Amino acid sequence: MDSGLRVLLSTVLCLSQSLLISCSSQYPFFSSEPASLVQSRGSVARLRCSVNPPSASVSWRFRGRPLDQDALPDVELSGGSLTISSLQPSHAGTYQCVARFDHGPAIASRLARVDIAEISEYEAGRRRSLSVQEGSPVS
């Protein structure tokens, strides 16, 4: 390889690496994003979000608006975790993790849906045997 081409290639490589470092330090990125879940009423529900670099701040959105921890009971925010200690219908909806540097652009994770599993009560009735001849109606 001729020396001029070698210098050109090393310059391009150096520039691309410095741009990559510069770009990645301007924007945080998610190493893990919250996942949707379905839990029973009263159970503990946990959403997790990991951001790199760790110096980025993490906040949460609930139903498209910034999450106000005081307005939503039984919710605790700690780092990238959102914990609902006793899942209630008021907690059901979409959540989103938001990462940003102090004075920079923000990025948002995918939406995670939290739903409550409802199991209806049923009447315990007396069971009876039923026999039907093939082709006959069931009565």
Q: Is residue 132 part of a domain?
A: no
Report the predicted TM-score, pTM, of the whole model to 2 decimal places: 0.67
Length of the chain: 139
Cβ contacts of 50 within 8 Å, gap of 6 or more: 30, 31, 32, 80
pLDDT, tens only, 10-60: 444 444 444 444 444 567 889 999 999 999 999 999 999 999 988 898 999
Q: Is residue 11 part of a domain?
A: no
CA angle 68, 59, 29 (to 5 degrees): 165
Query: In angstroms, what CA-CA distances link 106 with 26, 66, 97, 129?
Result: 10, 13, 10, 64
Alpha-carbon distance of 108 to 86, in angstroms, equals 26
pLDDT, tens only, 20-33: 444 445 678 899 99
Structural domain containing residue 74? 28-117
Q: Is residue 22 part of a domain?
A: no
Report how many domains make up the chain.
Answer: 1
Q: Domain of 94: which CATH number?
A: 2.60.40.10
Q: Is residue 125 part of a domain?
A: no
